[in-house]
Structure 1
Amino acid sequence: MKKLLVGIFLFHSLFSYAQKGDMTTVLSDITEKVKSYYIDPTTYKKVDSLFQSELKKGTFNNLNKKDFAALLTQKLRKDIKDGHFFVKYLENYSPEKLVDEKEKVKLNNFHNSLENFGFESVRRLEGNIGYINFKGFASPEASAATLAAAMNFVANTNSLIIDLRENGGGENDMLLLFCSYFFDKKTDLYTTYLRHANKTVMNSTQSNVSGTKYLHKKVYILTSEISFSAAEALAYFLQQHKLAEVIGEKTEGTANPVDHFIIQNEYLLLVPAGKITSLSSHTNWEHIGVMPDQEVKAEYALKTAHIKALKNILKTEKDTKTELSIPEIKNLINKLEQ
């Protein structure tokens, strides 16, 4: 019995030692990626100090790989103060399966199609007001037709509400395509500096889109404190160019783009590797968030925007026609305000 207990103890000791060694290697690799790619070249020192401190405290001991990755994400975001850091354990990951880039893109587009490329719903509200509930930016190649269909659907409305309260961001090129629907001509919006490549890229809207552009009409963008990354960018740039009013809560404050890395064939790592600079404001929303033009709790943002759009109809009643009479619009406003 005594020999059995000693054997079990040795097994657990060796397992813990091996586990700690694996984690140390992962932490070391993450630190190296931050050192080479993160937008601030000195931040890796903070990351290394954080990891060494947590190792000494035994913070990662006895964690499974999924929980280890989740805790790393939490620690990096909190201590480095960058919400774009992300670590995920890739169960059953096989690099051989991802050799064919075309198959990888095809599979990714298929998964995005199951969520309609982020377009949760598109409808017409009373008063002939368009509404798009948009939850994520997939690749423009895959989702351009869905975006065009959404914009064609709202083309005849008097004003438009874009709901980004649950939008978690996504593809930069899809952001630019969506922005293009609100600019009458090609417009340079921002530059992206990529530290590892040491180059700056211009980001511009397209002059032509496959759907109907939404020009010279009121646009309201709904935000929440969890509106993230590309969702913040859409609100920020349309607000900066006075093409939309933002209604809701101050957003997360994550502007910088990321690079993706596979660590030890087991973990996905996202590292903020560039810096966006708006050509109109000469800054961005990193750590600040997008400030609403009208700040209300996220749960009241849609009602607030609807009321605002209806009141604008009353101001411009000579030029704006809807299916509702003026008394009906006033009654609807009173109903929404209750």
Structure 2
Amino acid sequence: MTTHHEILEAALARITTGYVFPERAATIDAAIRRRLAEGAYRGLEVRELCERVTDDLQKACADKHLRLLWTEEPQPMDEEPEDVARARFARYARENNYGIRRVEQLDDHIGYLDLRMIAPADLGGPAIAAAMQLLAPTEALVIDLRQCRGGAPEGVQLWCSYFFADDGVHLNDIYERATDSTRQYWTLGHLAAPRYLDRPVAVLTGDLTFSGGEELAYNLKAQGRATLIGRTTRGGAHPTTRIPVAPHVTVTVPTARSVNPVTGTNWEGVGVEPDLAVAAGEELKAALEHLRTRLVDSRTDLTAEQGRRSSPAASGAAPGRGAG
């Protein structure tokens, strides 16, 4: 049986070699070793150890992706072959409908999309296109991210692309420690379903919205493409690697970080703030009221514009009597 000391040694080694902010790794290491020396973890069950260490990790470094996790099922300690890992995740994504829980047309031609996960683009692309095809006839859209707890950057890129006209929008950058390189994410030029343009979009956020769900909300807000309604999100902006350190214990190590090209920063530790803050349970109602107001204003503006275009002055006709 793996001892607490062995679990912590393995976890700290992974954090030291992989954490995206290497200058903070020494502080984290010292804090956990001090707690170990104080006897803070003595007598704990392994599940309790994970909870206590996670709390101490995040006190030492305010990074919500930095965790020690208990898993019910024992996991192999040997590194899983890449093709096996891909197949396992593909099955998980398929069983969860690639994160798309619900697509619906509500009253007043308002679409509703409930997203629980941001699937990788190569896996979720057809399902994402199908959802956007169903939403294409609507005049406004609610994207519900209140229970979206993560996902893939390429999936966020694909979802975002549907809300912009072309491939000219710089959405996000991700810096990776291992390669000391930065990858840029731009909107995509080719999509398998119609783009959702020139129509209002409201995004629902809550205190469960995390990681990839936060990136989707943050990107759309930073670009001025959506109104965020709800509550501030959890605040996890760092892509993360999961590494087994014992049969039932995994350490999660943030190995990269997001840098938004508009804000120059990200939402790590602070969350994504809504444009309109409302109480839990009131988000959808508030979003529908907001979108209905936007639609009424848009139709009023359109009617006024059509009136101006059809007026005699606009058409160049001279006032006067017609022939009798």
Q: TM-score range by the shorter chain?
A: 0.7 to 0.9
Find 2:131's aligned residue among 119, 139, 150: 150
1:309 and 2:309 are equivalent in the alignment: no
Residue 315 (structure 2) aligns with: none
Runs of 4 or more off by more than 4 Å in structure 1? 318-321
Question: Contact 1:255/1:285 (CA < 8 Å) preserved in 2?
Answer: yes
Q: Aligned in 2, Cα 1:96/1:269: closer, same or farther, shift over 3 Å?
A: closer
What CA distance in whole angstroms lies between the structure 2 residues aligned with 1:237 and 1:136?
Answer: 16
Question: Contact 1:258/1:273 (CA < 8 Å) preserved in 2?
Answer: yes
What CA distance in whole angstroms lies between the structure 2 residues aligned with 1:239 and 1:168?
Answer: 18
Find 2:223's aligned residue among 241, 247, 250: 241
Shift of 1:247: 0.7
Question: Contact 1:229/1:253 (CA < 8 Å) preserved in 2?
Answer: yes
Question: Contact 2:233/2:271 (CA < 8 Å) preserved in 1?
Answer: yes
Residue 163 (structure 1) aligns with: 144
Residue 291 (structure 1) aligns with: 273
1:224 and 2:195 are equivalent in the alignment: no
Residue 130 (structure 1) aligns with: 111
Residues 9-158 of structure 1 aligned to structure 2 (within 5 Å): 22-90=3-71, 91-95=73-77, 98-99=80-81, 101-158=82-139
Aligned pairs, number: 301
Shift of 1:264: 4.7
What CA distance in whole angstroms lies between the structure 1 residues aligned with 2:130 and 2:18?
Answer: 38
Provide the aligned C-alpha RMSD in A: 2.1
Per the normalisation by structure 1, the TM-score is 0.82
What CA distance in whole angstroms lies between the structure 2 residues aligned with 1:89 and 1:250?
Answer: 27
What CA distance in whole angstroms lies between the structure 2 residues aligned with 1:96 and 1:273?
Answer: 20
Question: Contact 1:194/1:273 (CA < 8 Å) preserved in 2?
Answer: yes
Name whichever of 62-71 and 297-306 sits farther off: 62-71
Q: Aligned in 2, Cα 1:320/1:270: closer, same or farther, shift over 3 Å?
A: farther
Per the normalisation by structure 2, the TM-score is 0.86
1:190 and 2:172 are equivalent in the alignment: yes
What CA distance in whole angstroms lies between the structure 2 residues aligned with 1:77 and 1:282?
Answer: 24
What CA distance in whole angstroms lies between the structure 2 residues aligned with 1:270 and 1:43?
Answer: 16
1:204 and 2:186 are equivalent in the alignment: yes
What CA distance in whole angstroms lies between the structure 2 residues aligned with 1:226 and 1:78?
Answer: 20
Question: Contact 1:34/1:43 (CA < 8 Å) preserved in 2?
Answer: no
Q: What SS is found at the alignment partner of 1:42?
A: helix
What CA distance in whole angstroms lies between the structure 2 residues aligned with 1:285 and 1:107?
Answer: 30
What CA distance in whole angstroms lies between the structure 2 residues aligned with 1:119 and 1:64?
Answer: 37
Shift of 1:96: 6.1
What CA distance in whole angstroms lies between the structure 2 residues aligned with 1:71 and 1:240?
Answer: 36
Question: Contact 1:232/1:290 (CA < 8 Å) preserved in 2?
Answer: yes
Shift of 1:320: 7.5
Q: What letter corresponds to residue 286 of structure 1 in structure 2?
A: E
1:273 and 2:255 are equivalent in the alignment: yes
Q: What SS is found at the alignment partner of 2:285?
A: helix
Q: What letter corresponds to residue 220 of structure 1 in structure 2?
A: A
Question: Contact 1:123/1:130 (CA < 8 Å) preserved in 2?
Answer: yes
What CA distance in whole angstroms lies between the structure 1 residues aligned with 2:56 and 2:193?
Answer: 43
Shift of 1:197: 1.8
What CA distance in whole angstroms lies between the structure 2 residues aligned with 1:210 and 1:148?
Answer: 6
Once the two structures are superposed, residues 290-336 of structure 1 have per-residue CA deviations (whole angstroms, 9 ceiling, x without a partner) of 12111112311110000111112221225789xxxxxxxxxxxxxxx
Contiguous gaps of at least 5 residues in structure 1: 1-17, 322-338
Q: Aligned in 2, Cα 1:153/1:319: closer, same or farther, shift over 3 Å?
A: farther
Shift of 1:46: 2.1
What CA distance in whole angstroms lies between the structure 1 residues aligned with 2:58 and 2:127?
Answer: 33
Shift of 1:152: 0.9
Shift of 1:83: 0.6
Contiguous gaps of at least 5 residues in structure 2: 304-324
